[in-house]
Structure 1
């Protein structure tokens, strides 16, 4: 009902003085200010500055908001029944809710980082380990000059790209000291490790806030650093990995066999 979306303080009343659940034509129910003032349940799910009940993303976020504030975690059936009085509707929603919940739990379990992974099977004798551990990835771009897939400009690609889903754990290829953890122009968010003797490794396009290390921290080989992402200038989710030698990017495949 419009009044549930925007707030029941805006509800019109019928001839008997009962609230109708409708709102007057002068009320903009997509206005976030109106919804806040009315204590409504409408949510701007897609971040466009308004909560539109005819926008599927906003509608989904708003329904979730309503259910969560009406005890979904404690009694899902009661919360859904509060939303819609049809028992058949409640059962259908519960069935789908449980299916999605199970799928989400399985997905989260698959992405839960192993903070002490076994790297004995991902090393190649070079002294390095794979920054993605044993996670699946596609080697999508090598080091060297190329036409940039986003800008269309020919320039040196200073590392290798390992295409993998957002949230995939990544690890330190060698022990060292964190010298950067945050934003870098073009790379989005990145972590850089100083391995000593002029060598560094860079992990780029990582998830916003998706790193667990800080500048100055000493890390061990294979230590969990954070999660991959799709930040910066990219054509899709991947980990951009670089090796630097005395300030110059060199081909990482000289140090580890990625394919």
Structure 2
């Protein structure tokens, strides 16, 4: 048996043990593959960019919102439903509206009683600041609207004065508050024209004008044309005027007519044109195209009369005394009680009784002009010597006092103490358009006359087409 040195044996033994340890530590092929896969997965996860702080905080909230997001329009539907519920609760709390049309003989207390409301409520409503006292002016045909809740309390009340204005009263802790509601109508323009064969009123009716517009038309041209004496067959007129409309649930409702904006009148071959102009201060009047006032300083006739019963005549036979006595005025026959108007601006110099004149008024005007109004049934109670009157103010009423045989107005026109014929005297003009307003007036005139001309030409074409 060979001899190995002891040191060599120990070296071999150590190497063998080391080899056995190495063999035991080396894994099989499957184990190595698994270990590699796991290591790669872990490494791949580690290679993703790290989540920042904001995304880490918002992720839970975003997830919650996504999970709880409502269906399309559900939020709008919910809000609409909530508003409908609120309105339903409000209606229930306030009560339903009930309307009453005021009839002849009704009063505020009786109308409130129909709604189960007593005198205390009537008193509280009538004491509402600013507007309560207006309830004393209710008239037949107007409307009252009530809102009474289930407790019998008047929660809201509306006084409808007309289609454009009302007063709304609302219950408060210590009574009622009120506000005025004014609706603005739409203004549209309309056109009409006509030719006179018998009378202005008949021609106006055929043209579609109301009596009110006809009276306004006569008033505009009344200083130049005597519509009782000067109208001739063949005279004609054309008018541009306003119509007022109110838009409501039933569509556009016509409320009525407004002002005449421009008009022409042909009387006995002579043309007259009038334009309505409103100045910077809001004052409106009618002017000729060159800016002169259509008004005169005096009315041609200060009363609406049926006929002239006696003309201005220096040699008239007096109807009472049967002697020749000058008739220094004009007698306008009219029914007793017909209003008499001041012919022009001036000051009362006498108002009372004089034997021949009966109840009479004297008015002094500028430029030494005096007008006299005699035989009145009664005078305006507010007239006093020295008091001022404006053109058109009612100063008294037609009668037959003094030396009169029937109801009429005896009217005199004196210039510097000399009697002049009121029917033929040249009347002074009123003030024209001020120079400071002339540029603005001309601009307005151009537009409204172009509109009038357009309507006239269109009407002529229509008439020619109809005649063919």
Name the structure where helix makes up a greater proportion of residues: 2
Larger Rg: 2
Per the normalisation by structure 1, the TM-score is 0.50
Instruction: Determine which structure has greater relative contact order: mean sequence separation of CA pairs < 8 Å that are 6+ residues apart, divided by chain length.
Output: 1
